[in-house]
Structure 1
Amino acid sequence: MDTPDDYDSPWKDAVEHYFPEFIAFYFPDASQQINWARGHEFLDQELRAVVQDAELGKRFVDKLAKVALQDGSERWVYVHLEVQGSAQAEFAEQMFVYNYRLYDRYRQPVASLALLADTTPHWRPDHFSFAVLGCKHELCFPVAKLLDYTQDQAGLYANPNPFALVTLAHLLTQATRQDMNARFAAKWKLVQLLYQRGWDKQRVIDLFSVMDWMMRLPEQLKRSLWHNIEVLEEQEKMRYVTSVEQLYSEKWMQQGLIQGRAEGEAYALQRLLQKRFGPLSEDVLARLQTARVDELELWLDRALDADTLAGVFAQ
C-alpha cells in the first residue's frame, strides 16, 4: 500500500500545474537549458519508490520530472520543495541520498534543485560530500531561498510569473503573523492583483488556493474578504474565486472527511502536524478533537512555520 504524499496542498498543485514557470522563476539558469516546447513528464511512481526506500527528514513537496534539454538529450529533474522548512542538519544529506538512489535504481543522471522557505537567513545547504582514503563523493545542487526575495517586493508585484505572487503570499504571511488586519490588507491586494493579470479562470483559482491556504484569516476578516471578492467579481463580470469555496466543500464532502467545520479544521491540522513532526501522542490527538474552531485556526496558522510541536500550542 502506498504511503500518502505529504498532504494535498495547493503548493503542490501549483508546482504540478505550472512547472515550467516554477523552474523559470526560481532556477532561471536551469530553465534556459530546458526545451519546454517538448513538454515534461512527472515520474511520480519512480520518485515514490526511492522516497519509501530512503526516507530522511520531513518532506513537503517532492517532484521528479523528465525534461528535454536544448541539446536534444533528455534528463531527469528532481525538485525538493521545503515550503515549511526549518534549518535541518540532514537536509543536504537527504538531497544526496535521493540523487544517488535515483541514479542507482534507474541509471539516469538527476538534477537536484532545492527551494527553501525557512526563516534562518544564513542556512543555505547546497552540497554534501564525504572523502575516505582518497576517494571523494560529492553532490552540489542549486538552491533558491524565498527569504532572499524580501527586499524586492516591488519587483514581485510587477513580475508576471505566477510564482512571484506565490512568493509574495509566503513572505506576507510571515510578515503579518502578529497582525491579522495587516494580513487582510495584504491578501486583498494580492486578490486584486490576480484579476489585473488577465489570467484565465483556472489559473486564478489555482493561485488563489495557494494564497488562501497560506494567508489564513480569523472568521470575521475572512467574511469581509469574501464580501470584497464578491463585489470585485461583480464589477469585473467574472465569477472566478467565489466558486472556490463551493469546490472545496464538495471535495471534502465527497471524501467524507468533514462533518462540520471543527472536524475539518482538526483533520487538516492533524495531517499537517504529523507530516511536520511525526506521529502525534494521544494527548495531542485528544486536544485536537476537543478544541474550539478559533483555537484550531490559530494552531493551523502557527503550524505553517513553527520549529517544534510545542511552539504550535504555546500559550
Structure 2
Amino acid sequence: MEFQRPNYDQLWKDVITELFEEFLLFFSPELFELADFTIPPQFLEQELQTILPESESSQRVADKLVQLQLKNGDNQWVYVHIEVQGDYKKIFPKRMFQSFYRIMDLYDEQIYALALFTSDDAKYNADQYNYEFLGTELTYRYHTYRIASQSESTLLKSQNPFALAVLAGLYVIKSKKNVDRKYQYKRKLMRLLLQDKMISKEMKREYIQKLFVFIDHVLRLPEETEWRLVNDLKPIIQKEAVQMGLSMKDTFLAKYYMNEGEKKGKIEGKIEIAVRLMEKGYCVEDAADITGLSIEEIKRIKDRK
C-alpha cells in the first residue's frame, strides 16, 4: 500500500482549535491571563478567507483567526499563521503584515499575531517586516516560534499538554524519512500520553484523546510499521486506554481492532461450521479440510461438545 503523506497544515489547524486554551497558555501566558474563557472563543476562518486575496486563500488554509473575550469586556483578536514548509520564502514577512492590516482595517480590533514555523529551515524565521521609501518607513513586528529550535528536554518537563503537540512536531523534523527513528519517537509519545508520565492527572480525558489522534496522524508510519507499533503498545493500550475510556476512532488503532474483530469473527464462524459438520457425522479430517481449521483444533472442538 502506498504511503500517504500526512496533511500537516490541517493537523496543526485542528489541534490548535481543539486545544486552544492550552495553545494560548503555551505561547502567550500574558494574553491567557487576560482572556475570559467562560465565553467560548470564536473561530473566524471563513472571515479570514474573505480578507485574504483569492490567489492566497487556498495557500493559507492552516491560518487561524480567533476572537477572544477579555476579562475587562474588550475583544481581542488572535491571528495565527502556521508556516509548514517555508513556501512563502522572502515575501513571508510582507504577507504577515498584509494579513495584519487587512484584519485591522476590516474589524478595527487589537491583534496578537504569531507565526508558527513547523519546518526546519531557518531562512523563513523572520519576525518583522520593514518598509522604506524616500523617508517613508514602517516596521511591523510579530511573534514567532520555531519548533526546530526547541529543546526536547524542556518540552518533556512542561505540564502544558500542548507541549506534546510541539514535541511531536519536533520529532517530525528530527526523523524526516528515517522510519525507524520516527517509530521510536511515536512509541515514546504514545507511552508518555497513555501512561500519564507527563500530563497532570487533572487534564481532561478529551484533551488526551485529541492529542492521541494528532500524534497518530502527524507521525504517520508505513502500514507494516504501524502494525508493529500497535503490537508493541498493545498491553498499555488495553490497560490504560480502556481505563481512560479513550476512543480509537480516527486513529490507525481503529483499523487494527477492526481487523482483529474481523479475524475473530471469521474464526468463530469456522468453529460454528465445524460443529455443524460433526453433528452431521463428518469426520475430523473432513471438517478440517472444509473449514480450514487444523485437525488439532477440530479435535478440541469435538472434545468440548
The alignment's TM-score, normalised by the length of structure 2, stands at 0.69
1:242 alignment counterpart: 248
CA separation in 2, counterparts of 1:209 and 1:140?
A: 34
Closer, same or farther: CA 49–105 of 1 in aligned 2, 3 Å: same
Matches within 5 A, 1:109-258: 109-121=110-122, 123-149=124-150, 152-195=151-194, 196=196, 197=199, 198=201, 199-236=203-240, 237-238=242-243, 240=246, 242-245=248-251
Indicate the SS of the match to 1:128: strand
Structure 1 portions without partners, runs of 5+: 1-5, 250-315
| Residue equivalent to 2:265 | none
Higher mean C-alpha deviation, range 28-37 or range 213-222 = 28-37
Counterpart AA for 1:78: Y
The answer on whether the counterparts of 1:57 and 1:91 sit within 8 Å (CA) in structure 2 is no
Give the SS at the match of 2:120: coil
Contact 1:10 1:209 in 2 (8 A): no
Superposition RMSD on alpha carbons, in Å?
2.8
Gaps of 5+ in 2: 1-6, 256-305
Inter-CA distance 135–34: structure 2 relative to 1 (3 Å threshold) = farther
Mapped contact 1:146–1:171 kept (Cα < 8 A): yes
What is the CA-CA distance between 1:83 and the residue it aligns to? 3.0
Give the distance between the partners of 2:61 and 2:120, measured in 1 at CA. 16
Q: Aligned residue pairs: how many?
A: 242
Change (3 A) 1:87 1:175: farther
Provide the C-alpha distance between the structure 2 equivalents of 1:232 and 1:72, rounded to a whole number of angstroms. Answer: 46
Determine if contact 2:130/2:140 at 8 Å carries over to the other structure.
Answer: yes
- Distance in 2 separating the partners of 1:243 and 1:41: 26
Q: Which runs of 4+ in 1 moved over 6 A?
A: 246-249
Q: Is 1:75–1:108's contact at 8 Å kept on the other side of the alignment?
A: yes
Larger displacement relative to structure 2 (139-148 or 21-30): 21-30
Same amino acid, percent of matched pairs = 28
Q: TM-score, normalised by structure 1?
A: 0.67
For 1:115 and 1:30, how far apart are their aligned partners in 2?
A: 17
Amino acid at match of 2:167: L
- Deviates most, 186-195 or 59-68: 59-68
For residues 243 and 42 of structure 1, what CA distance do their matches in structure 2 show? 24
1:125 corresponds to which letter in structure 2?
Answer: A
Distance 2:70 2:204 in 1: 29
**Residue number in structure 2 paired with 1:89:** 90
Partners of 2:91 and 2:128 in 1: how far apart?
A: 11
Q: How has the CA–CA distance of structure 1 residues 248 and 7 changed in structure 2, closer, same or farther, with 3 Å as cutoff?
A: farther
Shift of 1:107: 2.7
